[in-house]
Amino acid sequence: MYVSFFAYLYNEVFLLPFAMPLIDQFLSYIQAERRYSPLTVKSYRRDLERFESFMAKEYELPDLSKASTPMIKTFLVSLKDGGLSNRSINRMISTLKTFYKFCLREGFVEKSPMFGIKNLKQPKNLVKFVSESDINKVSFENCEDYTIKRDELLFELLYQTGIRKAELIGLRDQDVDVIGMKVKVLGKRDKERFIPVSRELLEMVGKYRSLRDERFPVRADRLLLNDKGEEMSPYFVYEKVHSMLESVTTLKQKSPHVLRHTFATHLLDEGASLVAIQKLLGHSDLATTQVYAHNTIEQLKKIHQQAHPKGG
């Protein structure tokens, strides 16, 4: 009896943790320690399982720690031959680099097989944004209705602060500082930042809260709620924004992230510095923010070509 118990204890404590598949160990790491979002973890899993399937089929090598640089290059070529875009392949490269960095750190590999593998060149697509004139076309009925006031505040928070969809959903009442005229936002990897807001936006928050509290005495601990007094889902927010933009813009993409791009582009057009915009958006790297500068320059080129007598 005692022998079987200690055998069980040995398996549980010493053997089972190491029996966990390598991919699962990596995903647990980025979720628990790096605090990556569930969607990001899901994306990493999809990429790695695709790579694992290729390695098993082409090389009969299910152990990814045994993969070599030539094998990985062959895998990337197969993705290109399969019609995958350079952008998608670069995402795969990023996934594999992060994965093998983890493997190197944990001692599963002596050298990363991703060493020397560079991203593919891809065209610089201009960031899509809504023009100021089209933004001003978005209107809401002037009445004391919870749903209308909620939708209006949802739209204005996204456009006036540039926060992400997930950040909007996570806002709580105490995150709105009326006296300091700012909003506290919990961004990626639980990084906090503060975004200044206008007096008009704070008045909208106050009116909305009164209607919300009256309608939902018992509710979720969130600033914005759905029609049942519960936390909004990502799809709920997307549908609201898509509906609002549908009648005012011909852009194919009508998502909350477009309002984030719009916020940054309009700030830059009004003379804000890239460093200031970087802090407001919560970008860790200024290079990520510089896409808006490129966007503005390209727009100026287009205007010049259209308006100048010799521009074309």
Cα distances (angstroms) measured from residue 210 to each of 55, 78, 172, 203: 58, 58, 15, 11
pLDDT in tens, 198-226: 999 999 999 999 999 999 999 999 999 99
Percent of the chain with pLDDT over 70: 87
Question: pLDDT by residue (tens digit) across 42-87?
Answer: 999 999 999 999 999 999 998 999 999 999 999 999 999 999 988 8
Q: Distance between CA 153 and CA 163 in Å, rounded?
A: 13
| Lowest pLDDT segment from 28-37, 123-132, 246-255, 268-277 | 123-132
Distance CA 194, CA 311 (A): 43
Determine the CATH number of domain 2-106. 1.10.150
Domain ranges of the chain: 2-106, 132-307
Q: Give the separation between CA 109 and CA 118, rounded to whole angstroms.
A: 20
Instruction: Tell me how far apart the alpha carbons of residues 281 and 97 are, in angstroms, rounded to a whole number.
Output: 26
**Which residues have a catalytic role annotated?**
164, 188, 257, 260, 283, 292
Q: What is the CATH number of domain 132-307?
A: 1.10.443.10
Q: Is the pTM of this model over 0.85?
A: no
